[in-house]
Chains A and B, each alone.
Chain A
Amino acid sequence: MAALVSSHLPALQVVLALLAAPVCLLLRRPNASWAVATAITWTLLAVSIALLERVLQSGTIIYALGGWPAPWGIEYRIDLANAFMLVIVTVIGSAVMPYARASVEAEIPVERIYLFYCMYLLNLAGLLGIAITGDVFNLFVFLEISSLSSYVMISLGRERSALTAAYRYLIMGTIGATFYIIGVGMMYMVSGSLNMADLASLLPDVGGSRTVMVALAFITVGLGLKLALVPLHMWLPNAYTHAPSVVSVFLAGTGTKIAVYAMMRIIFTVYGGMGVFDDFGLGEMLMALGIIAMIGASAVAIYQDNAKRLLAYSSLAQIGYIVLGISMASVFGLAAGIVHLFNHALIKAGLFMALGCIFLRIGSVKIEDMKGLGKAMPVTMAAFVAGGFGLIGVPLTAGFISKWYLLQAAIEKGWWLAIIALLISSLLAIIYVWRVVEAAYFQDRDKKAPAVSEAPVSMLVPMWVLIGASIYFGINATMTMDVAIGAAEALIGGIQ
């Protein structure tokens, strides 16, 4: 039995959540569905850690779904890169679940709570599926599972703007997915395969074909929409702002990250042998977009009055960092991107959790309403400050590690423009983080405002687990960097 389970871990990673979603639908009771979702998420965390350990020990795992070997069947191929992604997604999920209970009760009508958990599980299944699969079409299916469920989750927000945010995200997201599938079709036309590893070996033979390059263009734009690469980001600020707090936490930590991973996979694994960086100028294009995101979005973040929207724009900027790492096409650059993907997931999820705590207590996340919270909610605000330091990249936070490697990679490349942009973006981060800090610590709460107490422990603990982890991985980054460098080597293997 143990051997059977152990040999089918890759399938379990996806199937468990997929099966549990309808269970929630049948249970209908809020607490029961919460319990199911939590149990499943934690099990998946264990599975993903087991998979990561196995990859670290014995290298890439290849699993033929249903026993059909590639390239006919769908293949799950787990190397260090996607094993790390699986861990990132399940870690965030596992921290979100205990937090969710109190927050969801406060923000989502009780008769819809079980639907939320159902959608969450579907979303989780989709995200894990994207990370684990080795098949480009299968990736599309999981992409849409996760996207459709996140549209629903966003629409659960209390304000009516949540509906329009979800609707606009749906339109943009569907266009993105359709672009992606057009690209996949073109690749299939010239190669007759959908398996990533197979494509990687077939595509160079038809390298001169315009179809292959057009396919890459479609896929890049399609995934760019999903990962909110500026200027394809229009859906994100509203979606993050109006979604329920828990949804913002989960999406900020996982949703865009997994799309970034998909883009890395396509560019480096599938198109690895195509010289897209040397001949096609992909690196320069992505660098330009990354820089625009880093500076533009940070500058916009400074002018936001709503802290959630501020963090949303900050996310766009941080995605710019990751894209910059991708654009360098060097092991260090890519490793910096991957480690920032992890670090930023922890930091941003922790920050959104802090805002969720604040929303629970004062019913608003406007910066002007956060006056005096430094005294009223010291634990929450301390977490916000620590997370904010991470965004700035202060030493002893995870953000510093990411920035160190990005800068190092940029210096080795001699990309001075990118270096300056990175530094300016950090300075802008100081400003937008400090706006919140000054409101919370230098202004007093209105005399007439009702007294505020600290958020419940069930929300504080997960928040500090994530923030604490972001500090831990800022002090001792050897492990994360080793994994990230291994993941980057696994991805970039095709190029070198």
Chain B
Amino acid sequence: MSVEQIILYAVLTPLAGAGLIALTGARPNLREAVTLATGLVLFALVANLYPVVAAGQTPSVSLLEMLPGLSLSFVIEPLGMIFAGIASFLWIVTSVYSIGYMRGHHEQNQTRFYVYFAIAISAAMGIAFAGNMLTLFVFYEVLTISTFPLVTHHGTADAKRAGRIYLGILMGTSILFLLVAVIWTWSLTGTLDFTKGGILAGKADGLTAAILLGLYVFGIGKAALMPFHRWLPAAMVAPTPVSALLHAVAVVKAGVFSVLKVAIYIFGADFLFTIATSRWLLYLAAATVLIASLVAMTKDNLKARLAYSTISQLSYIVLGAMLATDLGILGGGMHIAMHAFGKITLFFCAGAFLVAAHKTEISEMHGIGRTMPFTTLAFFIGSLSIIGLPPTGGLWSKWYLALGALEAGQIAIVAVLMISSLLNVFYLLQIPFNGFFSGKDGDKAAEIKEAPVSCLIAIGISSTACMVLFLYPDPVYDLMRLVVGS
């Protein structure tokens, strides 16, 4: 297989998988086997691309000419490789988890769930490998639409309301801001290809670039920069695997990934640094980091707390992009990976608490470490990664983000990062500590009752990965080095 074919297959495999899943819907075991097989094939394909990218090549392939002069085309470059690698790997893990969760929780319409899940992954691959802004925009919208049935999976009035917010904000921002920004760029430069060093420098004057940047960053609603963050807590109404993979990894990372892409390949870091609005957006991202952390502390529902934590963590990456320095971008890119593994672990644990103990509120989880020690331990590791403490990978991304802030001379941003980490400690570690050390002694008699085995396997993999990334962050680091080019 040539590299070009692999790229196309990587986008098409999950789509074909979705078709097969729909066909095998009547036989759940076969259906799940198809999901897992598709995930493995996809990961194998993506893994095959890694040596090519690591060698510094950026092969590209054009699918078809959508408009005169504008094609749907794909290219693999290091940043997209990181995103694709994470999404495809975690899809396998999530699929393993879903089998236990969906059955253990007796969910309805499981076939529909797996079908749209696979389509969403296909869209995420399309975003990761997008060769130009049009392709990225197309798959961005496909991702929004394909995740809508997952968010509203339960079909209840709550789900419907959440679906409205989800679709309204994500589609509203993308149509109102992003589409205009894309077409404006096209009309200014005559190209939408992602180009090293950016395409706007020299083509757009200061004011235009300032407005464009705002349109891009707010238009990418999936990055959940305040004030367009409301969709993310709303989406928590979905089944937990959806929250775990899509709303901790694929969808939100597609958002911040797009922000990084725009910053690096549309504006170019040097040009970005000169734009006035990049400072404002930097401060807005910093504000989002703090405010979302504070809101997270007030939430008693575990998934809601994790959602606000995600909003806060996503803004780290936006912040890294807006620093417009090499180290800032490096840290932002690494944080995509580190946060993904940390947050998916936390969501897996939240789902496990729900399936095994039927608990959703943090205040009910006192002493849960005694009945579910393994899950609670994994939660502890995931929390450490989010906070940025050893022995987890989260340390590295925060490290480089802080260095990037120093490089840009933004001492205040360093302070924000520190304060936010402290807040993380408060609102995340509370759960495992209360789980292990509080609760009535009378509960001692309680037997160990963990989540289904497949859930535990998934939790085990993702929490181990958090620690592996502490010792061995090299793949991610090397790829980001290639992005910033030094």
Q: Quick check: do A and B touch in the complex, using CB within 8 A?
A: yes
Q: Are B187 and A394 in contact (CB under 8 A)?
A: no
Contacts of A426 in B (CB 8 A): 175
Q: Max chain A CB contacts within 10 Å: which of B167, B176, B180, B186? A: B180
Q: Does A411 reach chain B (CB closer than 8 Å)? A: yes
A441 to B168, CA, bound (A): 17
Give the contact-size bracket for chain B: 20 to 34
Q: Are B142 and A404 in contact (CB under 8 A)?
A: no
Report the stretch among A46-54, A113-121, A175-183, A470-478 that lies at the interface. A470-478
Q: Does A395 reach chain B (CB closer than 8 Å)? A: yes
Least distance between B150 CB and chain A CB atoms (Å):
13
Least distance between B211 CB and chain A CB atoms (Å):
11
What is the 8 Å Cβ interface bit string for chain A, positions 412-453, against chain B (1 contact, 0 not)?
100000010001001100100010001001100000000000
Contacts of A481 in B (CB 8 A): 67-68
Q: Given A395-B141, A411-B184, do A478 and B65 touch, yes or no (CB 8 Å)? A: yes
Q: Are A476 and B64 in contact (CB under 8 A)?
A: yes
Contacts of B72 in A (CB 8 A): 475
Q: Does A482 reach chain B (CB closer than 8 Å)? A: yes
Q: Are B65 and A394 in contact (CB under 8 A)?
A: no
> Could you say which of B141, B160, B164, B180 contacts A423, with CB atoms under 8 Å apart?
B180
Q: Are B137 and A395 in contact (CB under 8 A)?
A: yes
Contacts of A174 in B (CB 8 A): none
Q: Are B142 and A407 in contact (CB under 8 A)?
A: no
A419 to B175, CA, bound (A): 11
Q: Are B160 and A442 in contact (CB under 8 A)?
A: yes
Q: Which of A255-295 contact B (CB under 8 A)?
A: none
Least distance between B149 CB and chain A CB atoms (Å):
8
Q: Does A393 reach chain B (CB closer than 8 Å)? A: yes
Q: Are B184 and A396 in contact (CB under 8 A)?
A: no
Q: Does B179 reach chain A (CB closer than 8 Å)? A: yes
Contacts of A434 in B (CB 8 A): 164, 167
A441 to B167, CA, bound (A): 15
Q: Does B37 reach chain A (CB closer than 8 Å)? A: no
A61 to B155, CA, bound (A): 57
A485 to B141, CA, bound (A): 27
Q: Given A395-B138, A412-B187, do A476 and B65 touch, yes or no (CB 8 Å)? A: yes
Q: Which of B172-226 contact A (CB under 8 A)?
A: 172, 175-176, 179-180, 183-184, 186-187
Contacts of B67 in A (CB 8 A): 401, 404, 477-478, 481
Contacts of B137 in A (CB 8 A): 395
Interface residues contributed by chain A, number (CB under 8 Å):
29
A377 to B105, CA, bound (A): 29
Which B residue sits closest to A410, measured CB to CB? B183
Which B residue sits closest to A424, measured CB to CB? B176
Q: Does A161 reach chain B (CB closer than 8 Å)? A: no
> Could you say which of A407, A441, A475 contacts B179, with CB atoms under 8 Å apart?
A407
A407 to B183, CA, bound (A): 7
Q: Which of A17-41 contact B (CB under 8 A)?
A: none
Q: Does B171 reach chain A (CB closer than 8 Å)? A: yes
Contacts of A408 in B (CB 8 A): 183, 186-187
What is the 8 Å Cβ interface bit string for chain A, positions 371-412, against chain B (1 contact, 0 not)?
000000000000000000100111110000101100110011
> Could you say which of A392, A396, A423 contacts B138, with CB atoms under 8 Å apart?
A396
Least distance between B219 CB and chain A CB atoms (Å):
11
Q: Given A419-B180, A442-B160, A478-B66, do A430 and B167 touch, yes or no (CB 8 Å)? A: yes
Main secondary structure, interface of A, reads helix
Least distance between B365 CB and chain A CB atoms (Å):
32
Contacts of B160 in A (CB 8 A): 438, 442
Q: Are B180 and A407 in contact (CB under 8 A)?
A: yes
Contacts of B180 in A (CB 8 A): 407, 411, 419, 423
Q: Given A423-B176, A434-B164, do A411 and B187 touch, yes or no (CB 8 Å)? A: yes
Contacts of A485 in B (CB 8 A): 68
Contacts of B167 in A (CB 8 A): 430, 434
Q: Are A427 and B66 in contact (CB under 8 A)?
A: no
A441 to B175, CA, bound (A): 24
Q: Are A478 and B183 in contact (CB under 8 A)?
A: no
Q: Are A394 and B141 in contact (CB under 8 A)?
A: yes
Q: Are B68 and A478 in contact (CB under 8 A)?
A: yes
Least distance between A332 CB and chain B CB atoms (Å):
9
A132 to B72, CA, bound (A): 36
Least distance between B139 CB and chain A CB atoms (Å):
8
A475 to B152, CA, bound (A): 27
Q: Does B145 reach chain A (CB closer than 8 Å)? A: yes
Least distance between B284 CB and chain A CB atoms (Å):
22
A438 to B155, CA, bound (A): 10
Q: Given A395-B142, A407-B183, A408-B186, do A477 and B66 touch, yes or no (CB 8 Å)? A: yes
Contacts of B186 in A (CB 8 A): 408
A392 to B180, CA, bound (A): 15
Contacts of B65 in A (CB 8 A): 476, 478
Least distance between A423 CB and chain B CB atoms (Å):
5
A396 to B126, CA, bound (A): 13
Contacts of A442 in B (CB 8 A): 152, 155, 159-160
What is the 8 Å Cβ interface bit string for chain A, positions 475-494, against chain B (1 contact, 0 not)?
11110011001000000000
Q: Are B175 and A411 in contact (CB under 8 A)?
A: no
Least distance between B137 CB and chain A CB atoms (Å):
6
**Which residues of A are at the interface with B, using a C-beta cutoff of 8 A?**
389, 392-396, 401, 403-404, 407-408, 411-412, 419, 423, 426-427, 430, 434, 438, 441-442, 475-478, 481-482, 485
The 6 closest A-B pairs by CB, nearest first: A395-B138, A407-B183, A395-B141, A442-B160, A478-B65, A411-B187
